Amino acid sequence: MKIGFIGLGNMGGPMALNLVNAGHEVTGFDLAAPMPAGVAKAATAAAAATGADVVITMLPNGAILRAVAAEVIPAMAVGAVLCDCSTVDVDSARAVADQAAAAGIGALDAPVSGGVGGAAAGTLTFMVGGTEDAFAKVKPLFDIMGQKAVHCGAAGAGQAAKICNNMILGVTMIATCEAFALADKLGLDRQKMFDVVSTSSGYSWTMNAYCPAPGVGPKSPADNGYKPGFAAELMLKDLRLSQQAADSADADTPMGQLAADLYRRFVEDEDGKGMDFSAMLPRFEKRGRA
């Protein structure tokens, strides 16, 4: 396919490179990031989209997505597909899908899970909203860039799945870190704590696969000074998106709101910015009961 790729940073760059290595013709545009090897550089986002079968975007937020969509949709051919892989608010995803549909263009919201490592290895998971036809057209590209693509439903469903998943992730990581800090103060060995919880009813991904305690369980950012695999500020972004969606849908999410509040304090008022989101553990270690 002929592919336009807009947003070639830490995630978009390796995703585009995997498409090039699979034999696709990729033209890219980014305001700052360099073009990966084999990606032709366009002068504008519209130029990258012109003549493309699929345009993929990987952008910081919904406002930027809306601005880019307004630029590229008029340049795209009828029948092409705009596939946004950013994590943005549901309302922006649906607004862009409506704009694309009015122009005769397919649209997918397809946020990813798997981080920079998954982008480089081609093992991302895509959570996809949009029409069946658009999903079928882009599915071969999802298979190159990732290991799984789930069609979650109509426009916005991909973003809904992503933010619901990450709300669970944020809440669960806080609970895991709280439990380790409590275990420390009760004199319980961390390895014994892991051995019990990882095989009993406290089992979770944050305990078993991404343990926030250094030297316990599989290797994780905790074993590398909490350098980010998934940065705390990105978790804060996703938790804020979850609460924005909850407001829009009139949903009661008290744990999600509390997690958002705690990560906001950690990132903006304490030392969490630039740290992995599992660095909540040393935060709780230093604190007593309020």
Task: For residue 33, give the CATH number of its domain.
Answer: 3.40.50.720
Summarize the confidence of residues 191-219 as an average pLDDT: 97
Which residues carry out catalysis?
162
Single residue among 153, 183, 212 that ends a domain in this structure? 153
Answer whether 93's CB lies under 8 Å from 153's CB: no
Single residue among 153, 181, 207 that ends a domain in this structure? 153
Residues 108, 168 within the same domain: no
Residues 261, 220 within the same domain: yes
- Give the closest residue to 278 by CA, choosing from 189, 191, 174: 174
Q: What is the pLDDT of residue 223?
A: 98
Answer whether 108's CB lies under 8 Å from 158's CB: yes
Band of pLDDT at residue 198, cut at 50, 70 and 90: very high
pLDDT tens digits for range 131-141: 999 999 999 99
Could you tell me the pTM of the whole model?
0.91
Q: What is the pLDDT of residue 283?
A: 96
Residues 120, 224 within the same domain: no
pLDDT tens digits for range 17-29: 999 999 999 999 9
Residues 134, 31 within the same domain: yes
Distance CA 225, CA 206 (A): 17
Distance CA 264, CA 88 (A): 18
Summarize the confidence of residues 132-154 as an average pLDDT: 98
| pLDDT for residue 290 is more than 80 | no
Distance CA 63, CA 179 (A): 38
Distance CA 5, CA 9 (A): 11
Range(s) of the domain holding residue 178: 160-286
Question: β-pairing, 112-113 with 54-57?
Answer: unpaired
Band of pLDDT at residue 249, cut at 50, 70 and 90: very high
CA-based angle 16:139:77, to the nearest 5?
75
Residues 109, 13 within the same domain: yes
Q: What is the DSSP string of 180-232?
A: HHHHHHTT--HHHHHHHHTTSTT--HHHHTS-SSTTSSS--GGGGTT--SSBH
Residues 70, 206 within the same domain: no
Distance CA 109, CA 149 (A): 12
Residues 128, 16 within the same domain: yes
Distance CA 119, CA 125 (A): 10
Residues 139, 172 within the same domain: no
Distance CA 217, CA 227 (A): 17
Residues 142, 196 within the same domain: no
Dihedral angle over CA of 83, 65, 40, 107, nearest 10:
20
- Residue matched to tokens 């938790």: 239
How many C-beta neighbours within 10 Å does residue 233 have?
Answer: 18
Residues 146, 240 within the same domain: no
Residues 236, 141 within the same domain: no
What CATH number did the domain enclosing 202 receive? 1.10.1040.10
Number of domains in the chain: 2
Mean pLDDT estimate for the chain: 97
Mark 126-154 as b/e (b = at least 16 C-beta within 10 Å): bbbbbbeebbebbeebbeebbeebebbee
Share of the chain above pLDDT 90, in %: 98
Residues 61, 167 within the same domain: no
Summarize the confidence of residues 247-269 as an average pLDDT: 97
Single residue among 108, 134, 153 that ends a domain in this structure? 153
The pair of structure tokens assigned to 93 is 């995803």
